[in-house]
Structure 1
């Protein structure tokens, strides 16, 4: 069984209330914060402060923090319900560092997640996205030897394509956990609402875009090694772009079909299983879109 505990560090957001010039003061504060928490982060700017910060911005973020902490246990339980069965007991702790006006969401080291917080984002979206992050945090515990290898080094064509299969499986299950709530929320937020986290939310059921993502992904398996080497950086950017969110849309679609055909237990039990099994399960269904992935490697 996998046990996850989570703490939320909101001190950087709370610091905003104490400064009148965050653009000037934040670099030193953030450097001190990194030293206090033994973190080594990129030197590039990780935040994008507005020219002036309105008190309503701070109130909005503090309200989100309150909701995140109030619903923390509920969110962890929800994510944990999709953790796979394991013969061993695993205990993992995650510290979520909230970064005001941040430009990134990523884990710089195991057990730490830098999570950007934005004013006026609907708190329900923030909670759902963090719930999906909680699942991501334990995925390394499920990895086979090959999954670990390609996650660490994926410069060759074969390793990169397998790495994408790992990411698609992870994103598929993580998004599926919150999918029902997310889809209920979309019409309630209205057409003018801008999703800051689930940027692909309005395309989750777009068969046109899903098939386009599948076709592009499928074509990568037919690509010659020399061509792949030449366009590797462009491929890496394209496959994760907002215009073609292939990893998310393919993952969500396959996870949904697998759950519908085999049940939730089959979907969630990925511990020590190759990422290709996720695709094999899908390809064994009679789903009408499966031909778009006909060249994807299943070994």
Structure 2
């Protein structure tokens, strides 16, 4: 069993005749440590907003494009409209995408996505099972290379301290300064990750870094320590600290970074209440969301200061 599970938004048909196909692929997907989640269209609320929210929270999108209706004057079929819409949303938010396409189905508007597709036959689902499993294996490896370090359940490092300070520069802008002393708990630690992910779905918000600075203050002799930005979008800022050669067990590194980004938090109490009324705020009631840290590794000391405007 895999130690790390990933979450996939599953875009698919809800027709009774397609249920067996969807269940077949769901079992295969789970076998690779990816949990396919189907959005409940009966959920109370604005459906487009809820779909977008669930796609943003997922690690990837997997689509099962089955036949819906025949395309006029053509030998091809169209899949359900919402599948193409959900693929477009995932693409806009830079989510990894994998599409299983029924033979004869034509998907428009995604010319550069041929490598993200694998065909299947409705009446012989196991015919291309070797290609399907290879396709899912490659998706799993890609997700591991992008997200695994931040999801590992077994600690690969410990942080002796995190000293952080965030300052509101204006209603529109904040700056985060952080210094970290860490120690490797394994023999070959290649990198450690940091991420900021937007959960609030209020339109116009962003976590995109406008300025990013990094400095390594202490490191083992002969080591090179560099930052590498993996993803910098309105919805996620993901970067890693790369160690070359990899850190050995017991070796320590001290580094600091500064990020200037848009202020995505409500600036006033009234603004918070308005977001709650709209149903876009990530919490059900007003809270102080200043220190929104998810501690992935053992951490001996966390100091967080927050400076507001006068």
Please indicate the TM-score interval, normalised by the length of the shorter structure. under 0.3
Q: Say which structure, 1 or 2, has more relative contact order (CA 8 Å, 6+ apart).
A: 1
Q: Which has the higher strand share?
A: 2
Q: With structure 2 as the length reference, what TM-score do the two structures score?
A: 0.26
Q: With structure 1 as the length reference, what TM-score do the two structures score?
A: 0.26
Q: Which has the higher helix share?
A: 1
